[in-house]
Amino acid sequence: MSGPMRDRMGGDARGGMMLALVAVDGPEGRALADDLAREGVGVLAVVPASALADLAADALLGADAVAVHEQLERAQVVLLDATRDTLDARVVSLCDRLGTRIVPRCASPADERLAAAFGLPAPVSPADDASVVADALRAHPAPQAAADASGRRVIAVWGPAGAPGRSTVAIAVAAELARGAGRVGLVDADSHAPSLALTLGLADEAPGFAAACRQADLGTLTTAELTRISAPVSVPGGAIDVLTGINRPSRWPELGDKRVAAALAVARGWAEHTVVDVAASLERDEEIVSDVVDGPRRNAATLAVLGEADLVVAVVAADPLGVSRFLRGYSELRATIGSTPVAVVANRLRPGALGIDARGQVRRTLERFAGIRDVWFLPADQRAADAALLTARPIADAAPRSPFTLAVRRFVGEAVVRP
């Protein structure tokens, strides 16, 4: 970071004073901080406008990174010069996790649209008097941490190669959530083998998630636009809004990591739960073999979704080959998502593939080789699966009394909603 961060206060809140971090460049930022201090705002520090974006992208290192993070964590609000270079989904996510509200300072209509796309409050202008800016900083209390967030979550559904049933489980989880929640979004972010549109009988040429990503990249994506480009699918007790995937795997460059993260940030304000179906591959080797530094990455969509997810539903096929593939991929999944909670689902359980005590064999194997103690089981129900495929409907709609549907209901109640 060019130039040291300028500390303004030595302590924390003084007599209930609003604590703010000013992310505005140069002399303008320092002058604004002085004016805000005279208006009774406790300015913790002045940092460059790009400092938050650099911190969120791990481009800020050493003492500068530690200092900015500490001040951002102490601040109740950050005044940010909002442009496409300084405001993105990672910045919003970082501030949400720390419970710090962003007040955007916008110099153009394009910047105002960008701030609105991320659900930020009404912006202030560089022409506004310090008293107006101070009032905006005090206007609303700081948000609670994102984990609270009125239940709005991104749920990624992942599984290893070999078709363990990721899409089937993603549809089933979304359908079950729709019974007891408000709006539930279902997103196809699989850049290798997108299948939700075909499985649910939706138009393969619909704009879908790729269009949402393009608009998010331009800063024009809104919750109203997500509603317009999504396709509603009726399920028992409600409906799910589906953002279909790319209709050809060759279109994978449209699902860049920054685009996907930005689209999911808007989706949090759109749906109570956003269930995202992702591809199996977690490889990053493409970054090594490519000579284009910022070129598109085939697995960027999957990695971006997993990075934004509040919960990962990991699907393992309940047969010897499926368990073996899962164990090879699970360590890589854990290395990718860090401390993000994981709920493991053993799909298509049937005694014929594992012999006596199929549940016990799967459970003991996963615990012994991966340390996984909690496993939920979804039984194989080929008749219900065939009925759903034939009618292009979720299994919960085609066979509401299926053992599979009842098992999904238990899983969602115990592992998805209850936490």
Burial of 65 (0-12, 13-18, 19+ CB in 10 A): middle
Task: Please give the average per-residue pLDDT across 346-362, as a whole number.
Answer: 89
pLDDT at residue 134, rounded to an integer? 92
Instruction: Tell me, rounded to whole angstroms, the distance of Cα 66 from its chain centroid.
Output: 25
* Each residue's pLDDT tens digit, 290-346: 554 455 688 999 999 999 999 999 999 999 999 999 999 999 999 999 889 999 999
Confidence of residue 67 (pLDDT cuts 50, 70, 90): confident
> Is 6's pLDDT higher than 50?
no
> Is 149's pLDDT higher than 60?
no
> Is 12's pLDDT higher than 60?
no
Confidence of residue 148 (pLDDT cuts 50, 70, 90): very low
pLDDT at residue 268, rounded to an integer? 93
Lowest mean pLDDT among 14-23, 67-76, 215-224: 14-23
* Each residue's pLDDT tens digit, 229-288: 999 999 988 899 999 999 888 889 999 999 999 999 999 999 999 999 999 999 875 555
Task: Please give the average per-residue pLDDT across 151-166, as a whole number.
Answer: 92
**Residue ranges of domains in the chain:** 6-138, 149-417
Instruction: Measure the CA–CA gap between 111 and 124, rounded to whole angstroms.
Output: 11
> How far lies 13's CA from each of 9, 10, 44, 101, 247, in Å?
9, 10, 10, 16, 53
Name 93's Cβ contacts closer than 8 Å, sequence gap at least 6. 56, 146, 261, 265, 308
Task: Please give the average per-residue pLDDT across 162-183, as a whole number.
Answer: 92
CATH pick for 149-417 out of 3.90.190.20, 3.30.70.60, 3.40.50.300, 3.10.450.50: 3.40.50.300
Higher per-residue confidence, 301 vs 98: 301
Name 166's Cβ contacts closer than 8 Å, sequence gap at least 6. 157, 158, 159, 190, 277, 278, 280, 315
* Each residue's pLDDT tens digit, 103-124: 999 999 999 988 887 778 889 9
Three-state secondary structure of 203-217: CCCCCHHHHHHHHHH
> Is 14's pLDDT higher than 50?
no
Residue 277: beta bridge partners?
157, 188
What is residue 378's three-state secondary structure?
Answer: strand
> Is 188's pLDDT higher than 90?
yes
> Is 4's pLDDT higher than 70?
no
In CATH terms, are 6-138 and 149-417 the same topology? yes
pLDDT at residue 16, rounded to an integer? 53
CA end-to-end span of the chain: 39
Enter the tokens of residue 162.
């070999």
Q: Where are the beta strands (DSSP E) in 39-122?
A: 42-47, 77-81, 101-105
b/e burial code for range 244-254 (CB count within 10 A of at least 16 → b)? bbbbeeeebeb
Check: CB of residue 360 under 8 Å from CB of residue 381. Answer: no
pLDDT at residue 18, rounded to an integer? 78
| Residue type present at position 207 | P
Instruction: Measure the CA–CA gap between 309 and 311, rounded to whole angstroms.
Output: 5
* Each residue's pLDDT tens digit, 204-239: 778 899 999 999 988 889 999 999 999 999 998 889
pLDDT at residue 418, rounded to an integer? 64
What counts of helices (H) and strands (E) characterise the chain?
A: 19, 13
Confidence of residue 371 (pLDDT cuts 50, 70, 90): very high
> Is 410's pLDDT higher than 80?
yes
Q: In terms of DSSP bridges, do strands 273-277 and 184-188 run parallel, antiparallel, or are they unpaired?
A: parallel
Can you name the CATH fold of 6-138? Answer: Rossmann fold (3.40.50)
Instruction: Measure the CA–CA gap between 228 and 238, rounded to whole angstroms.
Output: 18
